[in-house]
Structure 1
Protein backbone atom coordinates (compact mmCIF):
# COMPACT_ATOMS: atom_id res chain seq x y z
CA UNK A 1 0.00 0.00 0.00
CA UNK A 2 1.43 3.32 -1.09
CA UNK A 3 0.95 6.13 1.42
CA UNK A 4 0.80 9.57 -0.19
CA UNK A 5 -0.96 12.94 0.17
CA UNK A 6 -0.15 13.91 -3.43
CA UNK A 7 -3.72 13.56 -4.74
CA UNK A 8 -4.94 16.14 -2.24
CA UNK A 9 -2.47 18.90 -3.18
CA UNK A 10 -4.37 22.07 -4.12
CA UNK A 11 -7.69 20.60 -2.96
CA UNK A 12 -10.06 22.06 -0.37
CA UNK A 13 -10.20 20.71 3.18
CA UNK A 14 -12.50 21.92 5.95
CA UNK A 15 -11.58 21.60 9.62
CA UNK A 16 -14.13 22.45 12.29
CA UNK A 17 -12.95 23.57 15.71
CA UNK A 18 -9.70 24.77 14.15
CA UNK A 19 -8.75 27.45 16.67
CA UNK A 20 -6.68 25.29 19.07
CA UNK A 21 -5.75 21.74 19.99
CA UNK A 22 -6.34 18.84 17.63
CA UNK A 23 -8.15 20.97 15.03
CA UNK A 24 -5.30 23.47 14.83
CA UNK A 25 -2.71 20.69 14.57
CA UNK A 26 -4.65 19.01 11.75
CA UNK A 27 -5.03 22.31 9.89
CA UNK A 28 -1.28 22.91 10.22
CA UNK A 29 -0.41 19.55 8.71
CA UNK A 30 -2.91 19.87 5.87
CA UNK A 31 -1.49 23.27 4.96
CA UNK A 32 2.04 21.87 5.07
CA UNK A 33 0.88 19.19 2.61
CA UNK A 34 -0.28 21.80 0.11
CA UNK A 35 -4.04 21.96 0.70
CA UNK A 36 -6.37 24.93 0.83
CA UNK A 37 -7.72 24.59 4.36
CA UNK A 38 -10.77 26.36 5.74
CA UNK A 39 -10.47 26.58 9.51
CA UNK A 40 -13.93 27.03 11.03
CA UNK A 41 -14.06 28.34 14.59
CA UNK A 42 -15.92 30.76 16.84
CA UNK A 43 -12.62 32.30 17.96
CA UNK A 44 -11.61 33.03 14.40
CA UNK A 45 -8.88 35.45 15.49
CA UNK A 46 -6.81 32.45 16.60
CA UNK A 47 -7.15 30.89 13.15
CA UNK A 48 -6.23 34.21 11.57
CA UNK A 49 -3.00 34.25 13.57
CA UNK A 50 -2.19 30.68 12.55
CA UNK A 51 -2.84 31.59 8.94
CA UNK A 52 -0.16 34.28 9.18
CA UNK A 53 2.23 31.86 10.88
CA UNK A 54 1.72 29.35 8.04
CA UNK A 55 2.17 31.86 5.20
CA UNK A 56 5.43 30.21 4.07
CA UNK A 57 3.85 26.76 3.68
CA UNK A 58 2.80 25.14 0.37
CA UNK A 59 -0.91 25.41 1.17
CA UNK A 60 -3.02 28.13 2.73
CA UNK A 61 -5.26 28.45 5.79
CA UNK A 62 -8.51 30.38 5.34
CA UNK A 63 -10.13 31.47 8.62
CA UNK A 64 -13.93 31.35 8.79
CA UNK A 65 -16.01 32.38 11.80
CA UNK A 66 -18.95 30.10 12.55
CA UNK A 67 -20.60 28.27 15.43
CA UNK A 68 -20.90 24.57 14.60
CA UNK A 69 -23.94 24.26 16.88
CA UNK A 70 -25.90 26.58 14.53
CA UNK A 71 -27.17 24.90 11.36
CA UNK A 72 -27.57 28.13 9.40
CA UNK A 73 -23.98 29.15 10.10
CA UNK A 74 -22.63 25.80 8.91
CA UNK A 75 -24.68 25.99 5.71
CA UNK A 76 -23.48 29.54 5.07
CA UNK A 77 -19.89 28.44 5.62
CA UNK A 78 -20.08 25.66 3.03
CA UNK A 79 -21.79 27.97 0.55
CA UNK A 80 -18.94 30.47 0.98
CA UNK A 81 -16.35 27.71 0.60
CA UNK A 82 -17.76 26.41 -2.67
CA UNK A 83 -18.29 29.89 -4.12
CA UNK A 84 -14.83 31.09 -3.08
CA UNK A 85 -12.52 28.08 -3.20
CA UNK A 86 -14.35 25.33 -5.02
CA UNK A 87 -15.70 21.90 -4.08
CA UNK A 88 -14.88 20.30 -0.74
CA UNK A 89 -12.60 17.26 -0.90
CA UNK A 90 -11.94 16.63 2.80
CA UNK A 91 -13.97 17.34 5.93
CA UNK A 92 -12.47 16.94 9.39
CA UNK A 93 -15.29 16.99 11.95
CA UNK A 94 -13.15 17.99 14.90
CA UNK A 95 -15.32 20.46 16.84
CA UNK A 96 -16.38 18.98 20.17
CA UNK A 97 -17.32 20.03 23.67
CA UNK A 98 -17.53 18.40 27.09
CA UNK A 99 -19.38 20.03 29.97
CA UNK A 100 -18.63 19.38 33.63
CA UNK A 101 -22.00 18.20 34.94
CA UNK A 102 -23.72 14.91 35.82
CA UNK A 103 -26.68 12.80 34.77
CA UNK A 104 -28.05 12.56 38.31
CA UNK A 105 -28.60 16.28 38.78
CA UNK A 106 -27.24 17.63 35.50
CA UNK A 107 -27.74 20.86 33.68
CA UNK A 108 -30.04 20.57 30.64
CA UNK A 109 -28.32 23.38 28.76
CA UNK A 110 -24.96 21.65 29.22
CA UNK A 111 -26.38 18.39 27.87
CA UNK A 112 -27.95 20.16 24.92
CA UNK A 113 -24.77 22.08 24.09
CA UNK A 114 -22.82 18.81 23.98
CA UNK A 115 -25.27 17.11 21.64
CA UNK A 116 -25.64 20.19 19.43
CA UNK A 117 -21.91 20.26 18.68
CA UNK A 118 -20.76 16.64 18.99
CA UNK A 119 -23.68 15.04 17.14
CA UNK A 120 -25.92 17.47 15.27
CA UNK A 121 -23.17 19.87 14.21
CA UNK A 122 -21.17 16.92 12.91
CA UNK A 123 -24.20 15.67 10.97
CA UNK A 124 -24.90 19.04 9.37
CA UNK A 125 -21.28 19.61 8.34
CA UNK A 126 -21.13 16.08 6.93
CA UNK A 127 -24.33 16.62 4.96
CA UNK A 128 -23.07 19.87 3.45
CA UNK A 129 -19.64 18.43 2.58
CA UNK A 130 -21.15 15.39 0.88
CA UNK A 131 -23.56 17.64 -1.02
CA UNK A 132 -20.54 19.45 -2.47
CA UNK A 133 -18.65 16.22 -3.17
CA UNK A 134 -21.59 14.62 -4.97
CA UNK A 135 -22.27 17.74 -7.03
CA UNK A 136 -18.71 17.75 -8.37
CA UNK A 137 -18.15 13.96 -8.45
CA UNK A 138 -15.40 14.20 -5.83
CA UNK A 139 -14.04 11.02 -4.25
CA UNK A 140 -13.65 12.78 -0.94
CA UNK A 141 -12.99 11.81 2.65
CA UNK A 142 -14.94 12.54 5.83
CA UNK A 143 -13.02 12.17 9.10
CA UNK A 144 -14.84 12.23 12.43
CA UNK A 145 -12.64 13.00 15.45
CA UNK A 146 -14.21 10.58 17.89
CA UNK A 147 -12.87 9.40 21.28
CA UNK A 148 -12.16 6.28 23.27
CA UNK A 149 -15.37 7.36 25.04
CA UNK A 150 -17.14 6.51 21.80
CA UNK A 151 -16.41 2.83 22.40
CA UNK A 152 -16.47 2.43 26.19
CA UNK A 153 -17.41 4.54 29.19
CA UNK A 154 -14.42 5.30 31.45
CA UNK A 155 -15.04 4.84 35.16
CA UNK A 156 -14.46 8.48 35.96
CA UNK A 157 -17.02 10.94 37.38
CA UNK A 158 -18.36 13.87 35.42
CA UNK A 159 -18.51 12.45 31.89
CA UNK A 160 -22.34 12.63 31.91
CA UNK A 161 -23.65 12.84 28.33
CA UNK A 162 -20.24 13.06 26.61
CA UNK A 163 -19.70 9.29 26.10
CA UNK A 164 -23.23 9.01 24.72
CA UNK A 165 -22.46 11.74 22.20
CA UNK A 166 -19.27 9.98 21.12
CA UNK A 167 -20.97 6.57 20.95
CA UNK A 168 -23.28 8.41 18.58
CA UNK A 169 -20.29 9.35 16.42
CA UNK A 170 -19.26 5.69 16.26
CA UNK A 171 -22.74 4.74 15.07
CA UNK A 172 -22.89 7.67 12.64
CA UNK A 173 -19.61 6.57 11.06
CA UNK A 174 -20.95 3.13 10.23
CA UNK A 175 -24.37 4.42 9.22
CA UNK A 176 -22.76 6.90 6.81
CA UNK A 177 -20.53 4.17 5.36
CA UNK A 178 -23.59 2.04 4.67
CA UNK A 179 -25.50 4.95 3.11
CA UNK A 180 -22.57 5.80 0.85
CA UNK A 181 -22.27 2.15 -0.19
CA UNK A 182 -25.98 2.06 -1.01
CA UNK A 183 -25.51 5.13 -3.24
CA UNK A 184 -22.48 3.59 -4.95
CA UNK A 185 -20.37 6.51 -3.75
CA UNK A 186 -16.56 6.40 -3.49
CA UNK A 187 -16.53 8.94 -0.64
CA UNK A 188 -14.68 7.51 2.35
CA UNK A 189 -15.47 7.94 6.05
CA UNK A 190 -13.17 7.35 9.01
CA UNK A 191 -13.56 7.58 12.77
CA UNK A 192 -10.39 8.58 14.63
CA UNK A 193 -10.64 7.79 18.36
CA UNK A 194 -7.92 9.26 20.57
CA UNK A 195 -7.22 8.60 24.20
CA UNK A 196 -6.30 11.49 26.45
CA UNK A 197 -4.87 14.46 24.54
CA UNK A 198 -3.56 17.67 26.06
CA UNK A 199 -6.09 20.24 24.79
CA UNK A 200 -8.17 23.06 26.27
CA UNK A 201 -11.02 20.61 26.79
CA UNK A 202 -8.91 18.27 28.93
CA UNK A 203 -7.10 20.98 30.89
CA UNK A 204 -10.12 22.94 32.08
CA UNK A 205 -9.11 25.41 34.76
CA UNK A 206 -12.48 25.06 36.47
CA UNK A 207 -12.15 21.30 36.84
CA UNK A 208 -12.58 20.04 40.39
CA UNK A 209 -9.11 19.85 42.02
CA UNK A 210 -9.60 16.22 43.02
CA UNK A 211 -10.48 15.26 39.44
CA UNK A 212 -7.58 17.32 38.14
CA UNK A 213 -5.19 15.46 40.45
CA UNK A 214 -6.37 12.14 38.98
CA UNK A 215 -6.25 13.33 35.37
CA UNK A 216 -2.72 14.60 35.85
CA UNK A 217 -1.56 11.03 36.57
CA UNK A 218 -2.79 9.71 33.20
CA UNK A 219 -0.46 9.26 30.22
CA UNK A 220 -1.22 11.89 27.60
CA UNK A 221 -0.65 12.61 23.91
CA UNK A 222 -0.18 15.84 22.00
CA UNK A 223 -2.59 17.22 19.35
CA UNK A 224 0.15 16.62 16.79
CA UNK A 225 0.01 12.88 17.53
CA UNK A 226 -3.63 12.82 16.46
CA UNK A 227 -2.94 14.99 13.42
CA UNK A 228 -0.34 12.43 12.33
CA UNK A 229 -3.05 9.76 12.49
CA UNK A 230 -5.41 11.85 10.38
CA UNK A 231 -2.73 12.40 7.74
CA UNK A 232 -2.16 8.65 7.68
CA UNK A 233 -5.81 7.79 6.96
CA UNK A 234 -6.01 10.51 4.30
CA UNK A 235 -2.84 9.15 2.68
CA UNK A 236 -4.27 5.71 1.95
CA UNK A 237 -5.09 4.79 -1.68
CA UNK A 238 -8.57 5.50 -3.04
CA UNK A 239 -9.58 1.83 -2.71
CA UNK A 240 -8.51 1.59 0.97
CA UNK A 241 -10.74 2.83 3.77
CA UNK A 242 -9.54 2.96 7.38
CA UNK A 243 -12.88 2.70 9.10
CA UNK A 244 -11.66 3.15 12.67
CA UNK A 245 -8.29 4.36 13.94
CA UNK A 246 -7.77 4.14 17.71
CA UNK A 247 -4.81 6.11 19.10
CA UNK A 248 -3.73 5.56 22.70
CA UNK A 249 -0.76 6.82 24.68
CA UNK A 250 1.54 4.10 25.97
CA UNK A 251 0.24 3.12 29.41
CA UNK A 252 -3.40 4.01 28.64
CA UNK A 253 -5.50 2.53 31.47
CA UNK A 254 -8.90 2.38 29.68
Structure 2
Protein backbone atom coordinates (compact mmCIF):
# COMPACT_ATOMS: atom_id res chain seq x y z
CA UNK A 1 0.00 0.00 0.00
CA UNK A 2 1.31 3.43 -0.97
CA UNK A 3 0.83 5.21 2.35
CA UNK A 4 1.77 8.78 1.46
CA UNK A 5 -1.19 11.17 1.84
CA UNK A 6 -3.45 8.27 2.80
CA UNK A 7 -5.82 8.75 5.76
CA UNK A 8 -5.25 6.82 8.99
CA UNK A 9 -7.37 6.86 12.14
CA UNK A 10 -5.69 5.91 15.42
CA UNK A 11 -7.76 5.42 18.57
CA UNK A 12 -6.30 5.93 22.02
CA UNK A 13 -3.91 8.33 20.30
CA UNK A 14 -2.91 10.56 23.20
CA UNK A 15 -0.37 8.29 24.94
CA UNK A 16 1.52 5.01 24.72
CA UNK A 17 1.22 2.87 21.61
CA UNK A 18 -1.33 5.22 20.09
CA UNK A 19 0.91 8.28 20.41
CA UNK A 20 3.93 6.39 19.05
CA UNK A 21 1.84 5.17 16.12
CA UNK A 22 0.62 8.67 15.32
CA UNK A 23 4.21 9.94 15.16
CA UNK A 24 5.40 7.03 13.04
CA UNK A 25 2.57 7.30 10.51
CA UNK A 26 3.08 11.05 10.23
CA UNK A 27 6.75 10.50 9.52
CA UNK A 28 5.92 8.35 6.50
CA UNK A 29 3.65 11.05 5.12
CA UNK A 30 0.17 9.95 6.12
CA UNK A 31 -2.75 12.11 7.12
CA UNK A 32 -3.38 10.95 10.68
CA UNK A 33 -6.51 11.52 12.73
CA UNK A 34 -6.10 10.78 16.41
CA UNK A 35 -9.11 9.88 18.55
CA UNK A 36 -8.85 10.34 22.32
CA UNK A 37 -10.62 12.03 25.18
CA UNK A 38 -7.66 14.37 25.71
CA UNK A 39 -7.49 16.08 22.34
CA UNK A 40 -4.81 18.53 23.45
CA UNK A 41 -2.33 15.72 24.11
CA UNK A 42 -2.63 14.62 20.49
CA UNK A 43 -2.14 18.14 19.22
CA UNK A 44 1.08 18.44 21.24
CA UNK A 45 2.63 15.17 20.04
CA UNK A 46 4.70 16.64 17.21
CA UNK A 47 5.86 19.91 15.74
CA UNK A 48 7.51 18.99 12.45
CA UNK A 49 6.53 15.97 10.39
CA UNK A 50 5.91 14.85 6.80
CA UNK A 51 2.22 14.14 7.25
CA UNK A 52 -0.78 16.05 8.55
CA UNK A 53 -2.17 15.66 12.05
CA UNK A 54 -5.80 16.04 13.08
CA UNK A 55 -7.05 15.58 16.63
CA UNK A 56 -10.60 14.71 17.62
CA UNK A 57 -12.09 14.42 21.09
CA UNK A 58 -13.69 10.97 21.08
CA UNK A 59 -14.66 8.88 24.07
CA UNK A 60 -14.64 5.35 22.63
CA UNK A 61 -16.97 4.09 25.38
CA UNK A 62 -19.70 6.21 23.75
CA UNK A 63 -20.84 4.71 20.47
CA UNK A 64 -22.28 7.93 19.06
CA UNK A 65 -18.97 9.73 19.56
CA UNK A 66 -17.22 7.02 17.54
CA UNK A 67 -19.80 7.31 14.75
CA UNK A 68 -19.51 11.10 14.76
CA UNK A 69 -15.73 10.82 14.66
CA UNK A 70 -15.69 8.67 11.53
CA UNK A 71 -18.26 10.92 9.88
CA UNK A 72 -16.06 13.96 10.62
CA UNK A 73 -13.00 12.24 9.16
CA UNK A 74 -14.75 11.41 5.89
CA UNK A 75 -16.13 14.91 5.47
CA UNK A 76 -13.07 16.90 6.58
CA UNK A 77 -9.99 14.78 5.88
CA UNK A 78 -11.06 12.12 3.41
CA UNK A 79 -12.13 8.47 3.30
CA UNK A 80 -10.18 6.21 5.62
CA UNK A 81 -7.47 3.88 4.33
CA UNK A 82 -6.03 2.63 7.62
CA UNK A 83 -7.62 2.08 11.04
CA UNK A 84 -5.52 1.34 14.10
CA UNK A 85 -7.87 0.24 16.88
CA UNK A 86 -5.56 0.87 19.82
CA UNK A 87 -7.67 2.25 22.68
CA UNK A 88 -7.60 -0.07 25.69
CA UNK A 89 -7.72 -0.10 29.48
CA UNK A 90 -6.93 -2.56 32.25
CA UNK A 91 -7.92 -2.55 35.90
CA UNK A 92 -8.89 -4.86 38.76
CA UNK A 93 -12.19 -6.47 37.82
CA UNK A 94 -12.91 -9.89 39.26
CA UNK A 95 -16.22 -11.63 38.69
CA UNK A 96 -17.01 -12.26 42.35
CA UNK A 97 -16.13 -8.85 43.72
CA UNK A 98 -15.71 -6.63 40.67
CA UNK A 99 -17.45 -3.32 40.08
CA UNK A 100 -20.07 -3.46 37.32
CA UNK A 101 -19.05 -0.05 36.00
CA UNK A 102 -15.44 -1.22 35.69
CA UNK A 103 -16.63 -4.28 33.77
CA UNK A 104 -18.56 -2.07 31.37
CA UNK A 105 -15.66 0.36 30.91
CA UNK A 106 -13.30 -2.49 30.04
CA UNK A 107 -15.64 -4.20 27.58
CA UNK A 108 -16.81 -0.95 25.96
CA UNK A 109 -13.21 0.21 25.47
CA UNK A 110 -11.46 -3.05 24.63
CA UNK A 111 -14.18 -4.77 22.61
CA UNK A 112 -17.22 -2.72 21.62
CA UNK A 113 -15.21 0.27 20.38
CA UNK A 114 -13.19 -2.06 18.15
CA UNK A 115 -16.35 -3.64 16.72
CA UNK A 116 -17.89 -0.24 15.99
CA UNK A 117 -14.66 1.10 14.53
CA UNK A 118 -14.26 -1.91 12.24
CA UNK A 119 -17.84 -1.62 11.02
CA UNK A 120 -17.56 2.10 10.26
CA UNK A 121 -14.14 1.84 8.62
CA UNK A 122 -15.18 -1.06 6.40
CA UNK A 123 -18.35 0.77 5.39
CA UNK A 124 -16.36 3.82 4.28
CA UNK A 125 -13.69 1.73 2.55
CA UNK A 126 -16.27 -0.21 0.56
CA UNK A 127 -18.23 2.91 -0.37
CA UNK A 128 -15.06 4.50 -1.76
CA UNK A 129 -13.63 1.27 -3.25
CA UNK A 130 -10.57 1.38 -0.98
CA UNK A 131 -8.62 -1.79 -0.26
CA UNK A 132 -7.77 -0.59 3.23
CA UNK A 133 -6.15 -2.10 6.29
CA UNK A 134 -7.42 -2.51 9.85
CA UNK A 135 -5.06 -3.38 12.69
CA UNK A 136 -6.59 -4.26 16.05
CA UNK A 137 -4.11 -3.89 18.90
CA UNK A 138 -4.68 -6.83 21.20
CA UNK A 139 -2.47 -8.44 23.86
CA UNK A 140 -0.73 -11.71 24.60
CA UNK A 141 -3.56 -12.13 27.13
CA UNK A 142 -5.78 -12.76 24.15
CA UNK A 143 -3.84 -15.99 23.68
CA UNK A 144 -3.45 -17.39 27.17
CA UNK A 145 -5.17 -16.91 30.48
CA UNK A 146 -2.93 -15.18 33.02
CA UNK A 147 -4.89 -17.08 35.74
CA UNK A 148 -5.51 -13.95 37.75
CA UNK A 149 -9.14 -13.48 38.85
CA UNK A 150 -8.55 -9.73 39.13
CA UNK A 151 -7.77 -9.54 35.41
CA UNK A 152 -10.62 -11.71 34.15
CA UNK A 153 -12.54 -8.93 32.37
CA UNK A 154 -9.39 -7.61 30.69
CA UNK A 155 -8.39 -11.09 29.55
CA UNK A 156 -11.94 -11.84 28.39
CA UNK A 157 -12.06 -8.64 26.36
CA UNK A 158 -8.81 -9.59 24.62
CA UNK A 159 -9.97 -13.12 23.85
CA UNK A 160 -13.21 -11.69 22.45
CA UNK A 161 -11.38 -9.15 20.30
CA UNK A 162 -9.12 -11.84 18.89
CA UNK A 163 -12.07 -14.05 17.93
CA UNK A 164 -13.96 -11.10 16.45
CA UNK A 165 -10.99 -10.01 14.33
CA UNK A 166 -10.65 -13.43 12.74
CA UNK A 167 -14.38 -13.59 12.04
CA UNK A 168 -14.29 -10.15 10.42
CA UNK A 169 -11.50 -11.46 8.18
CA UNK A 170 -13.68 -14.42 7.22
CA UNK A 171 -16.67 -12.19 6.55
CA UNK A 172 -14.57 -9.93 4.31
CA UNK A 173 -13.26 -12.96 2.43
CA UNK A 174 -16.77 -14.28 1.89
CA UNK A 175 -17.87 -11.05 0.20
CA UNK A 176 -14.73 -10.91 -1.95
CA UNK A 177 -13.27 -7.84 -0.26
CA UNK A 178 -9.55 -7.04 -0.42
CA UNK A 179 -9.65 -5.14 2.88
CA UNK A 180 -7.06 -6.64 5.21
CA UNK A 181 -7.30 -7.03 8.97
CA UNK A 182 -4.72 -8.07 11.57
CA UNK A 183 -4.83 -9.01 15.22
CA UNK A 184 -1.58 -7.53 16.56
CA UNK A 185 -0.78 -8.77 20.07
CA UNK A 186 2.16 -7.22 21.92
CA UNK A 187 3.66 -8.62 25.07
CA UNK A 188 4.52 -6.25 27.90
CA UNK A 189 4.97 -2.73 26.53
CA UNK A 190 6.38 0.22 28.49
CA UNK A 191 3.33 2.51 28.69
CA UNK A 192 1.16 3.96 31.43
CA UNK A 193 -1.54 1.25 31.18
CA UNK A 194 -0.27 -0.69 34.21
CA UNK A 195 -0.02 2.40 36.41
CA UNK A 196 -3.44 3.72 35.36
CA UNK A 197 -5.08 0.36 36.02
CA UNK A 198 -3.18 -1.03 39.00
CA UNK A 199 -1.21 1.78 40.60
CA UNK A 200 2.31 3.18 40.53
CA UNK A 201 3.88 0.65 42.90
CA UNK A 202 2.91 -2.34 40.79
CA UNK A 203 3.83 -0.53 37.60
CA UNK A 204 7.33 0.20 38.92
CA UNK A 205 7.72 -3.42 40.03
CA UNK A 206 6.54 -4.82 36.70
CA UNK A 207 8.93 -2.77 34.60
CA UNK A 208 11.78 -3.36 37.02
CA UNK A 209 11.46 -7.14 37.03
CA UNK A 210 9.97 -8.16 33.68
CA UNK A 211 11.27 -7.78 30.12
CA UNK A 212 9.38 -5.28 28.01
CA UNK A 213 9.35 -3.58 24.64
CA UNK A 214 8.60 0.03 23.78
CA UNK A 215 5.58 1.63 22.15
CA UNK A 216 7.80 2.59 19.22
CA UNK A 217 8.50 -1.11 18.61
CA UNK A 218 4.79 -1.72 18.14
CA UNK A 219 4.46 1.32 15.88
CA UNK A 220 7.31 0.02 13.71
CA UNK A 221 5.54 -3.35 13.51
CA UNK A 222 2.42 -1.58 12.29
CA UNK A 223 4.39 0.00 9.45
CA UNK A 224 5.82 -3.43 8.61
CA UNK A 225 2.30 -4.85 8.35
CA UNK A 226 1.08 -1.95 6.22
CA UNK A 227 4.04 -2.37 3.87
CA UNK A 228 3.31 -6.03 3.12
CA UNK A 229 2.26 -6.76 -0.50
CA UNK A 230 -1.54 -6.45 -0.97
CA UNK A 231 -1.79 -10.17 -1.75
CA UNK A 232 -0.70 -10.93 1.84
CA UNK A 233 -2.94 -10.72 4.90
CA UNK A 234 -0.93 -11.30 8.07
CA UNK A 235 -3.98 -12.13 10.11
CA UNK A 236 -2.22 -12.54 13.47
CA UNK A 237 1.09 -11.37 14.90
CA UNK A 238 2.56 -11.62 18.41
CA UNK A 239 5.39 -9.24 19.31
CA UNK A 240 7.10 -10.10 22.57
CA UNK A 241 10.19 -8.96 24.45
CA UNK A 242 13.04 -11.45 24.52
CA UNK A 243 12.72 -13.71 27.56
CA UNK A 244 9.04 -13.11 28.24
CA UNK A 245 7.48 -15.89 30.30
CA UNK A 246 4.27 -14.19 31.38
CA UNK A 247 2.97 -10.96 32.85
CA UNK A 248 0.60 -11.90 35.62
CA UNK A 249 -0.61 -8.74 37.32
CA UNK A 250 -2.49 -8.90 40.58
CA UNK A 251 -2.54 -7.46 44.08
CA UNK A 252 -0.85 -10.68 45.24
CA UNK A 253 1.75 -10.63 42.52
CA UNK A 254 5.13 -11.97 43.56
CA UNK A 255 6.68 -8.77 42.22
CA UNK A 256 5.34 -6.88 45.22
CA UNK A 257 6.53 -9.39 47.80
1:48 aligns with 2:49: no
Kindly report structure 1 stretches of 4+ aligned residues shifted beyond 6 Å: none
Instruction: Indicate conservation of the 8 Å contact 2:211/2:241, yes or no.
Output: yes
Instruction: Indicate conservation of the 8 Å contact 2:187/2:239, yes or no.
Output: yes
Shift in CA distance, 137/232, structure 1 to aligned 2, threshold 3 Å: same
After superposition, the C-alpha distances for 1:140-183 in whole angstroms (9 at most, x for unaligned) are 00000000000101244621210100001110111000000011
**Who is 1:197 aligned against?**
189
Please give the residue correspondences for 1:198-237 in structure 2 after superposition, counting only pairs within 5 Å.
198-204=190-196, 207=199, 209=201, 213=205, 216-237=208-229
Count, aligned residues: 246
Question: For structure 1, which runs of at least 5 residues remain unmatched after alignment?
Answer: none
**Who is 1:83 aligned against?**
75
Shift of 1:211: 7.8
**Who is 2:4 aligned against?**
9
**Who is 2:164 aligned against?**
172
Instruction: Indicate conservation of the 8 Å contact 1:100/1:207, yes or no.
Output: no
**Who is 2:110 aligned against?**
118
2:16 alignment partner, one of 18, 21, 24: 21
Shift of 1:212: 5.5
**Alpha carbon RMSD of aligned pairs, Å?**
1.6
Shift of 1:221: 1.0
- Matched residue SS, 1:62: strand
Question: For structure 2, which runs of at least 5 residues remain unmatched after alignment?
Answer: 247-257
Instruction: Indicate conservation of the 8 Å contact 2:33/2:53, yes or no.
Output: yes
- Matched residue SS, 1:8: coil
